[in-house]
Chains A and B, each alone.
Chain A
Amino acid sequence: MIETTFSYMVHNELIDPSIDVNSEEELFEVVGKRLLDLGYVTDGYSEAVNKREKEFPTGLNADAFTMAVPHVDPEFIVKPFVYICKTKKDLDLKQMAINTDMKTKNFCFLGIKEATGQANLLKNIIFAMREEDFISRFTNAKTSKELAYVVGEYLDKKY
């Protein structure tokens, strides 16, 4: 079944509006440990996402907004999730498919368990990044609840 709504993948325990790290690698360690402790991923997830990001970066760079969507093969995912976070500092990373340098503070880690069924998940995120309302609310969000509302709402939009 091709899914069209994904807000079920947003959980309050998987949102952090202000993480203090200095690099993507550090962020992957912090987020990976939380996901492992909460039972969403298997051991090896942090290493896998770090390795994958080096080979196939996940930065998305629109004119008005940037975001990274780190993800790995489904074998490391126990339960589907979207881990939403904003870092205090801009982190250096590379843009998806063309490997150019970019920076962002906005991250949605995608815990995709079933590729075909959840095919529209990234599509919905990409389309959300075009919306002024999403950009404004995500950028200005200071609390987990605000991030949960805006991401959940846009993950369920029909495009």
Chain B
Amino acid sequence: MKTVLISCGSGVASSETTASLFNDQIENEGLENELDTFVCPVGEAASVMEQNKDIVAYIGIETDDVIEQAEKMNLPHFNMNPYLTFDDEAQEEIFNSIREKSGI
């Protein structure tokens, strides 16, 4: 299944929160059978992107390593800030962008 990788400092609070909100978006669009999320600490994100061929996008803290790996693999990447600051409009833009680029 196509997967969105979500990462924060320790993969404990803000990434779980972002994943929960993104999963709500997936459910609202009825895409539970086509798209899911995977959470990990940002230190592991580049490695996960490289190894997991199901990853279609990244949302999280945008470290240099993450940006470099995402761009190398032509994966869209987004800062998680809209999911932590009630920016509903930006959240929708991120979701629609991921959906479009992953062909869902």
Contact = CB atoms under 8 A, between A and B. Distances in A.
Instruction: Tell whether A and B belong to one assembly.
Output: yes
Interface of A: 52, 55-56, 58, 60-62, 69, 71-74, 95-98, 110, 112, 115-116, 118-123, 126, 129-130
Given A122-B16, A122-B17, A123-B21, A52 B79 contact: no
Contact of A71 (B13, B21, B79): B13
B32 to A, nearest CB: 16
A73 B13 contact: no
A122 B9 CA distance: 14
Contact of B81 (A71, A74, A97): A97
What DSSP secondary structure best describes chain B's contact surface?
mixed
A69 B9 CA distance: 13
A97 B79 contact: yes
B27 to A, nearest CB: 13
A95 B79 CA distance: 13
A120 B18 CA distance: 10
A60 B18 CA distance: 14
B13 to A, nearest CB: 4
Nearest to A112: B12
A96 B84 CA distance: 8
- The size class of the interface chain B forms with chain A is 20 to 34
B72 to A, nearest CB: 22
Interface of B: 8-14, 16-17, 19-21, 42, 60-61, 79-81, 84-86
7 contacts: A73-B12, A110-B13, A115-B16, A122-B16, A122-B17, A123-B16, A123-B17
B86 A115 contact: no
Nearest to A129: B86
Given A129-B86, A130-B86, 18 more contacts: A52-B9, A55-B9, A56-B8, A58-B13, A60-B84, A60-B85, A61-B85, A73-B10, A74-B12, A95-B81, A96-B14, A97-B79, A98-B81, A115-B13, A115-B16, A120-B17, A122-B16, A126-B84
